[in-house]
Amino acid sequence: MKGRVFSGARPTGRQHLGNYLGAIQNYVKLQADYDCIYCVVDIHALTTIEETGSIQGNIHEMVLDWLAAGIDPQRSIIFVQSQVPQVLELHALLSMVTPLSWLLRVPTFKEKARLQPQNVNYGLVGYPVLMTADIILYKADTVPVGEDQLPHLELAREIVRRFNSIFGPTFPEPKAYLTEAPLILGTDGQQKMSKSLNNHIELAANEAETRQRVMSMVTDPQRRYRTDPGRPEICNVDHLHRLFAAPAADEAARLCRVAGIGCVEHKAELARLLNAHLEPFRQRRAELAARPGLVKEVLGEGARRVSGVAQETLREVKERMGLL
């Protein structure tokens, strides 16, 4: 029997290179061998945003990116979390077997509480429980994500183990599935590429915007003049270059070390490469965007296709927990 993949992403709008290289590449690849379910986790988005007017537009943009990147709605299911509400019931039931201490020690919770002290809401603490419910409602065993999600996945496994040991074997322990580049840094060269940090490069940006973002990238801070030798091993331009053209990146790194190439030239080359690589994606995206109703249709069909499994799992869980 085929394994089952589940992954979700918050509706942050247009996707960036970090999402693509860390997760979406695997969403596309895994379609060949697994039953895949990809979810726009809109309820999760509510844990951090106070302005909700952008959610619907963000869902649309994000799904267009997924489709253009190669997620095929004939093979995979794409749906919106809140359209299959059984996940909320499962979340409430799982919360009864999840010790609060497990949740309070999650690094992303501590970080978010620090970033938004005015809004440390109950949902923020329960984020990994809802994420666990997302995954196991469909009994998924494989979860393609970026490295930042590993602590959440570990917690999901702990919750599953606990549930299974109390109520009997019900769920597989979901495993993370990483790409070769599970953590992409942003244009600042320091922090994870993220829309909220505005250090990202959008897949759907036009050529000029992409070039402008790449030219703003921070390189080796010790290299102040064109004649200074650089250290490609700590330079994010080198890292990204390597992911798109490894042999050319080796040569650029060699030149960088002897000041044979400047950071400006190197960035211009990376921008050119990225634009060439993303051109077919952008064309497909424009074609898909021109088809009115497409995204809504895909999402409606996706929700319809998963709701049977969701109902069946919930029934089983309630039975195991003595509620039926």
Residues that bind ligand ADP (CB under 6 A): 9-10, 12, 18-19, 22-23, 145-146, 148-149, 182-184, 192-196
Yes or no: say if 11 and 40 are a contact pair by the CB < 8 Å rule: yes
Dihedral in degrees, nearest 10, Cα atoms 282, 284, 287, 290: -60
295 Cβ partners below 8 Å, 6+ apart? 59, 60, 63, 64, 67
Q: Assign 13 to helix, strand or coil.
A: coil
Nearer to ligand ADP, 216 or 222 (CB): 216
Nearer to ligand ADP, 3 or 89 (CB): 3
In whole angstroms, the minimum distance from the beta carbon of 19 to ligand ADP comes to: 4
H-only helix segments in 70-179: 86-95, 100-104, 107-115, 122-136, 150-167
Amino acid at 122: Y
> Catalytic residue among 29, 195, 296, 318, which?
195
In whole angstroms, the minimum distance from the beta carbon of 131 to ligand ADP comes to: 11
Task: Give the CB-nearest residue to ligand ADP.
Answer: 22
Task: Express the helix, strand and coil content of the chain in percent, nearest 5 each.
Answer: 60, 10, 35
- CA-to-CA distance for 61 and 64, rounded, in angstroms? 5
Q: 192 catalytic, yes or no?
A: yes
- CA-to-CA distance for 124 and 101, rounded, in angstroms? 14
Q: 112 catalytic, yes or no?
A: yes
Nearer to ligand ADP, 87 or 93 (CB): 87
In whole angstroms, the minimum distance from the beta carbon of 198 to ligand ADP comes to: 11
261-267 contacts at long range (C-beta below 8 A, 24 or more positions apart) = 262/226, 263/219, 263/220, 263/223, 263/230, 263/237, 264/215, 266/219, 266/237, 266/238, 266/241, 267/214, 267/215, 267/217, 267/219, 267/237
Q: Assign 4 to helix, strand or coil.
A: strand
Nearer to ligand ADP, 10 or 285 (CB): 10
Nearer to ligand ADP, 13 or 262 (CB): 13
In whole angstroms, the minimum distance from the beta carbon of 201 to ligand ADP comes to: 10
Q: 195 catalytic, yes or no?
A: yes
Nearer to ligand ADP, 146 or 262 (CB): 146
91 Cβ partners below 8 Å, 6+ apart? 126, 129, 130, 133
Q: Assign 251 to helix, strand or coil.
A: helix
> Catalytic residue among 192, 267, 296, 318, which?
192
> Catalytic residue among 112, 267, 296, 318, which?
112
Q: Assign 35 to helix, strand or coil.
A: strand
Strand partners of residue 36: 5
Active-site positions read 112, 192, 195
